[in-house]
Amino acid sequence: MTISVILTLFIGFAGGLAAGSGFVAFLTVLGIIPRLTQLTKTMKMIHYYEIAVITGALAGGFISLNNYTMHLNPLILIPIGLASGVFIGLLAAALTEVLNVFPILAKRIGIEGQIVVLIMAIVFGKIFGSLFHWLYLVYQ
């Protein structure tokens, strides 16, 4: 019994260490946070971005390990969801900017001069997919 508990603790710690190291390596090697501050022209606030990422990772880890739910008014959840979506969108934009995803994809599918059309297709696909998920799948 004791050995299985110790083994479970060791495996859980090792898995968390590996996932955390991968996350830090992802952010560091690709330079996501500095690029995000360049895109938003908020270089003076880079420490706040770093604190936000660390706090979010810790809060996400805590919430995922515990069965924690927040009972909030739906009107309060609207700005929280909007802010979360904006942050994820900016993070994704910084990542695609660093990796030059859109120019490579446009070249591969043969629409090099119409990158705006490609971006709008992705944006509208994300919007309609999210609406379908929340309106059709969640509220059934």
Q: Please, how many CA atoms are within 13 Å of residue 62, restricted to the half-sphere of its CB?
A: 7
Placement of tokens 């309609």 in the chain: 128
Which residues contact residue 46 at a Cβ distance below 8 angstroms, ignoring those fewer than 6 apart?
33, 34, 37
Can you tell me the distance from the alpha carbon of 105 to that of 121, in angstroms, rounded to the nearest whole number?
13
* Residue 56 in tokens: 């979010």
Per-residue pLDDT of the chain (140 residues; tens, 9 = 90+): 788 888 888 888 888 777 777 777 777 767 777 877 888 888 888 888 888 888 888 888 788 778 777 788 888 888 988 888 888 887 777 766 666 777 777 787 787 777 778 778 888 888 888 888 878 777 66
Can you tell me the distance from the alpha carbon of 130 to that of 125, in angstroms, rounded to the nearest whole number?
8
Burial zone of 36 (CB within 10 Å; 0-12 exposed, 13-18 middle, 19+ buried): buried
pTM for the complete prediction?
A: 0.46
